[in-house]
Amino acid sequence: MSEQILVEELKRGSNEAFKTIVDTYQDMIYNTCLSIVKNEEDAEDLAQEVFVQVYQSIHTFKGESKLSTWLYRIATTKSLDHERKKKRKKRFGFIKSIFGEDAQVEVNPPDFNHPGILLDKKEKATALFKAVDKLPENQRIAFILSKIEGLSYQEISEVMETTVSAVESLLHRAKNNLRKILENSNQ
Amino acid sequence: MKTSEIEEILNSFDGITRAKAKPFMYTRVMARLQEENSFWSRTTRILSRPAIAFISLVIIVLINVFSIIKANSIVNEQEEITSFVHNTSAVEVLQNDNFILAVNDVNTY
């Protein structure tokens, strides 16, 4: 079934079409969310949320971009929102703990191991994930989509709704910043 | 850290494969959709929309303002009635007094 037909079927409320979409894109969405939030349970939860949103708002999808581009956009937005909420909670938890209230401060696991990394590169990849975490949001998303999801500059520009040259610039700055972060981390 | 080591770290994502989602994603998504479509979830979702929450707040404030104005006007009306009653009774007392004085005057003549 072609993508366009799938979308049309889903707009008509076909569960079969929705199942095909979930089965086709689940790993792509889960992997993207996991690379951003670095927590398997949260990524699983976010991937489900992405598909729930797809089901509920498929009528807003005009077909101007590829379905995968739209899905990437929802996944990155939701993951970044989740990260922001987590940071807010962390700050709030800290304030609560100052006032002596029993508050659990949520923290990302210090050493995140992506299950798809080659065994001999695990240690270095963990250091890279830590450094990527310190990048500004747009550089981080561009870097993850390029290096982990393997998207082309054109595809990234469509997901991020920007130009190809802007993506090139984002990735160039991301690499420079990562170099600086890594240099400073072991000084 | 050496430059070569940094470059190795930067290239450590090379050859990465996609992490796989847990099985039965579709079943879990459908369960979540059913849960989200329940009456209470929908009501909560609607009420938590910023526009709806703001409009509700404005309505509550307006109702409060209206009740305060209404209560004040009732108090004013009551005060007016009370003062009217007081004034009327004072006039009546004076009239009665005058009547009694007049009758007394007639009786003396």
Indicate the residue of A47, A128, A185 with minimum beta-carbon distance to B12.
A128
Q: Rounded distance, CA A113 to CA A125, Å?
A: 8
- A42 pLDDT above the threshold of 90: yes
Residue A135 in this model has a pLDDT that exceeds 60: yes
Give residue B49's pLDDT. 83
Residue A169 has pLDDT above 80, yes or no: yes
Separation between Cα atoms, residue A52 and residue A46, nearest integer Å: 10
Per-residue confidence (pLDDT) for residue A107, from 0 to 100: 54
Q: Which of B45, B48, B32 is nearest to A51 (CA)?
A: B32
Cα–Cα distances in Å, from A86 out to A80, A82, A98, A131, B88? 10, 6, 18, 18, 73
A140 falls in which pLDDT band (50, 70, 90)?
very high
Give percent above pLDDT 70 in chain A.
Answer: 92
Model confidence at A157, pLDDT cuts 50, 70, 90, reads: very high
Token couple for A42: 């949260």
Helices B39-47 and B50-108, packing angle to 10 deg = 70
Could you give the domains of chain A? 1-80 (1.10.1740.10), 112-187 (1.10.10.10)
User: A147 in contact with B at a CB cutoff of 8 Å?
Assistant: yes
What pLDDT does residue B45 have? 78
Query: Residue A103's pLDDT is what?
Result: 55
Which position has the higher pLDDT, A96 or A18?
A18
Q: Which residues of B touch A178 (CB under 8 A)?
A: 10
Domain limits, chain B: 3-108
Least-confidence region, from A73-87, A97-111, B33-47 = A97-111
Q: What is the ipTM of this complex?
A: 0.84
CB pairs under 8 A between A and B: 89
Q: Which residues of A touch B29 (CB under 8 A)?
A: 22, 48, 51-52, 55
Q: What is the pLDDT of residue B18?
A: 95
Mean pLDDT of A154-167: 97
Q: In order along chain B (109 residues), what is the average pLDDT of each group of 10 residues?
A: 87 94 96 87 81 91 94 87 74 72 74
pLDDT at A187 over 70: no
CB contact (8 A) between residue A29 and residue B21: yes
